[in-house]
Amino acid sequence: MPRIAGIDIPENKKIFYALQYIHGIGTKFAKDILLEAKVDPDMRARDLDEQAGARISAIIDATYLVEGALRRQTQQNIQRLKDIRAYRGDRHKRGLPVRGQRTRSNSRTRKGKRKTVAGKKGVKG
């Protein structure tokens, strides 16, 4: 498996798609990196020579925040919101949707499995 910027990427995929396996690099950044490194996006990752791999790694290290550093920064941002008691921080703390989505009928992904609450049995009268 080839390593770019210290991260293993799949060797059977085109380098354009293989770069996107790095956390923090999507389609736009992959395209920009390959243009700057002057590498053909249709080339397979296993066919990449040492110089091209080094150029790509140098560009990623110098320009982009990826993998552990990006995850750490995201966690710090969320922690900052929690510390200053912002509304978004409270939503993160409670495990509820942060971006204004409704929660009455949806948001099962954030809230988890349904917790059944014992309701009133049919009260007659």
Domain map (residue ranges) of the chain:
3-63, 70-111
In tens, the pLDDT along 43-88 reads 999 999 999 999 999 999 999 999 999 999 999 999 999 999 999 9
Percent of the chain with pLDDT over 70: 96
pLDDT at 35: 96
d(CA 12, CA 19): 12
Question: Which residues, listed in sequence order, are joined to residue 109 by a DSSP beta bridge?
Answer: none
Q: What angle (nearest 5°) sits at the alpha carbon of residue 24, between those of residues 21 and 26? A: 65
Tokens 């950044």 belong to: 29
Residue 123 pLDDT greater than 70, yes or no: no
**How far is it, in rounded angstroms, from Cα 62 to Cα 19?**
16
Please state which CATH class domain 3-63 belongs to: mainly alpha
* Secondary structure of residue 8 in the 3-state scheme: strand
DSSP structure string for 3-50: EETTEE--SSSBHHHHGGGSTT--HHHHHHHHHHHT--TTSBGGG--H
Q: C-alpha distances in angstroms, 14 versus 11, 20, 29, 46, 60?
A: 8, 10, 15, 9, 18
pLDDT of 93 over the 80 cut: yes
* Averaged pLDDT score across all residues of the chain: 91
Alpha-carbon gap, residue 15 to 76, rounded angstroms = 31
70-111: CATH topology: 30s ribosomal protein s13; domain 2 (4.10.910)
Full-model pTM: 0.79
